[in-house]
């Protein structure tokens, strides 16, 4: 299997505002899956961990932006900060064991890139399919607010005792590309390469953002695994919200790795991305 990893992290001292590229955004209050939306951006309102090994410790994700996977009547936080080590002296990691899409626990293979048309003619691209993970669109958590009590949107919005339903007032959200496989590009239905001139794009205001990405490679791309690792950023000094942990989206061309091979490959990709991130932030 042909596999390479391209690190695109820039020095943290670069001005975030200077790196931002505007993305055209529209928000709809209709059923989100019908529009290709399967992910939301909120922030974690839980201040203290209330279960598990680290019960009673401060939540390392408190007030952090969080990528949330729509899982029907609740969310899965993807790539959240986490503790490791002994409870009396734990280390905080900038991600978690659940940091990839498709989730490793699901047993699903990476999302298959298939032949495109129109702007993507002659390329292989992402598209909505049978997998719940193929709804790659991302919207503000607040797009679920205001629906009828008991509706799918209302139940999802208020899940986990309203842990994620807080407003993102004043926040301006950026999406940083931490690393990507050579040949993998991220665009939209009208733009082929959003990250051509920068490793950060602007998703917009926290309460109204919407982003529908398209992942693509050339039609003659080598078979194998293609991954992109991201981080959510808050570009506004008027908002208390902090950056998210690291999370990745995994795709495949032609052949699909066996589950064991996939797990080893994605673990290696994350370790490389995390190491690069730590170096650029010292």
Task: List pLDDT tens digits, range 116-147.
Answer: 999 999 999 999 999 999 999 999 999 999 99
The pLDDT-based confidence of 164 (bands split at 50, 70, 90) is: very high
Q: Cα separation of 30 and 46, whole Å?
A: 28
Distance, C-alpha 219 to centroid of its chain: 25
Condensed to tens digits (0 to 9), the pLDDT of residues 67-85 reads 999 998 999 999 999 999 9
Residues 165/42, Cβ–Cβ less than 8 Å: yes
Condensed to tens digits (0 to 9), the pLDDT of residues 48-60 reads 999 999 999 999 9
The reported pLDDT for the residue numbered 67 is: 98
Q: In what order do the strands lie in the sheet with 123-125?
A: 114-115, 123-125, 214-218, 185-187
* Mean pLDDT over the full length of the chain: 85
The pTM (predicted TM-score) of the whole model is 0.82
| 249 pLDDT above the threshold of 80 | yes
Question: For the chain, where are the E strands, in sequence order?
Answer: 6-7, 37-43, 65-70, 75-78, 82-84, 91-93, 100-101, 111-112, 114-115, 123-125, 137-140, 172-180, 185-187, 200-205, 210-211, 214-218, 224-234, 247-253
The reported pLDDT for the residue numbered 156 is: 95
Condensed to tens digits (0 to 9), the pLDDT of residues 168-216 reads 999 999 999 999 999 999 999 999 999 999 999 999 999 999 999 999 9
The reported pLDDT for the residue numbered 31 is: 60
CA atoms within 13 A on the CB side of 275: 8
Q: Which two tokens stand for residue 183?
A: 């040949």
Q: What percent of the chain has pLDDT over 90?
A: 77
CA atoms within 13 A on the CB side of 281: 8
| 21 pLDDT above the threshold of 90 | no
Residues 185/192, Cβ–Cβ less than 8 Å: yes
| 25 pLDDT above the threshold of 60 | no
Q: Which two tokens stand for residue 137?
A: 């669109």
Contacts of 167 by beta carbon, 8 Å cutoff, 6+ apart: 142, 206, 207
161 or 267, which is more confident? 161
Q: Cα separation of 55 and 81, whole Å?
A: 15
| 257 pLDDT above the threshold of 60 | no
Widest pairwise Cα distance in the chain: 57
The reported pLDDT for the residue numbered 270 is: 52
Q: Cα separation of 14 and 28, whole Å?
A: 34
Q: What percent of the chain has pLDDT over 70?
A: 79
The pLDDT-based confidence of 1 (bands split at 50, 70, 90) is: very low
Contacts of 272 by beta carbon, 8 Å cutoff, 6+ apart: 5, 7, 179
Q: Which two tokens stand for residue 49?
A: 């961990």
Q: Worst-scoring range by mean pLDDT, 26-30, 53-57, 154-158, 251-255?
A: 26-30
| 110 pLDDT above the threshold of 80 | yes
């Amino acid at each position: 299997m042909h596999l390479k990893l391209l690190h695109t992290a820039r020095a943290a001292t670069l001005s975030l505002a200077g790196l931002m590229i505007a993305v055209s955004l529209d928000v709809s209050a209709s059923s989100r899956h019908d529009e290709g939306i399967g992910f939301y951006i909120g922030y974690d309102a839980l201040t203290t961990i209330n279960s598990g090994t680290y019960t009673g410790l401060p939540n390392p994700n408190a007030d952090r932006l969080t990528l949330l996977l729509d899982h029907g009547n609740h969310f899965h936080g993807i790539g959240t900060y986490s503790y490791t080590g002994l409870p009396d002296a734990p280390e905080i990691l900038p991600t978690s064991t659940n940091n990839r899409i498709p989730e490793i626990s699901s047993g699903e293979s990476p999302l298959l890139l298939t032949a495109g048309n129109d702007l993507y003619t002659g390329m292989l691209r992402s598209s909505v399919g049978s997998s719940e993970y193929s709804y790659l669109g991302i919207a503000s958590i607040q797009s679920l607010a205001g629906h009828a009590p008991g509706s799918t949107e209302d139940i999802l919005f208020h899940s986990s005792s309203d842990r994620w339903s807080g407003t993102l007032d004043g926040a301006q959200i950026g999406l940083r590309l931490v690393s990507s496989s050579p040949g993998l590009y991220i665009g939209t239905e009208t733009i082929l390469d959003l990250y051509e001139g920068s490793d950060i794009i602007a998703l917009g205001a926290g309460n109204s953002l919407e982003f529908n990405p398209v992942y693509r490679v050339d039609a003659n791309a080598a078979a194998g695994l293609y991954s992109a690792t991201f981080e959510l950023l808050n570009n506004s000094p008027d908002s208390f919200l902090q950056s998210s942990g690291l999370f990745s989206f995994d795709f495949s061309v032609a052949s699909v790795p066996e589950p064991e091979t996939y797990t080893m490959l994605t673990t290696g990709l994350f370790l490389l991305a995390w190491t690069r991130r730590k170096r650029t932030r010292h």
